Structure 1
């Protein structure tokens, strides 16, 4: 049971790391080259990606492959939801269609 908790924690961390990277890129959109990457949001975002990678490597050993394959698409939908809530991004028709296709794929895969 703890492995499922770790997997869902990794999904949440992935979402927040993507949000941090977007915030970092927005704040430094006028900077070029290496200066674009030299801010705290980007550093923390990439650090969280490293943590997620390690968590996923650990979890993949113990959970069924069928469950592990579902983690990536769920992360994509999680980023969409968090970007609407935290960044106040507008929900477009294309985003809804894309998220629906991802969720439909997860459902079909698990039938």
Structure 2
């Protein structure tokens, strides 16, 4: 594993955290459309997404394109775990099965 792999993994983690903040914003009622899109959760979530995009661009400068989707797919698992801890979402059998299918697909794709 080189530094570009690590940067892409960090990018996936940052994007996953971004998704949690954006979803957390939907739990709050906002008085106006402007407040719905200009609240701290949304601004921070999109800021993290921009950082993630920049990290991804830099990571792909030193990776084969085939490796990208494999590393980025761990985001599904990270979001499921973060949602459990920060949004109190349950990890159902269906979600777990979906993540297992994704991992199997990654393994088959990479072979």
Tell me the TM-score normalised to structure 1 length.
Answer: 0.88
RMSD, aligned α-carbons: 1.5
2:68 is aligned to 68
CA distance in 2 between counterparts of 1:92 and 1:110 reads 27
Structure 2 partner of 1:109? 109
Mapped to 2, the partners of 1:99 and 1:34 lie a distance apart of: 36
Tell whether the 8 Å contact from 1:77 to 1:102 is kept in structure 2 after alignment: no
Q: Which residue of 2 aligns with 1:22?
A: 23
Paired position in structure 1 for 2:50 = 50
CA contact (8 A) 1:23 1:41 kept: yes
Structure 2 partner of 1:88: 88
Query: Partners of 1:4 and 1:79 in 2: how far apart?
Result: 19
Aligned to 1:33: 33
Alignment partners' CA distance in 2, 1:63 and 1:76: 21
Render the CA deviation track for 1:55-94: whole Å, top value 9, x for unaligned.
1111112112221121332112211111112222111222
Runs of 4+ displaced beyond 2 Å: 30-35
* Alignment: residue pair count: 110
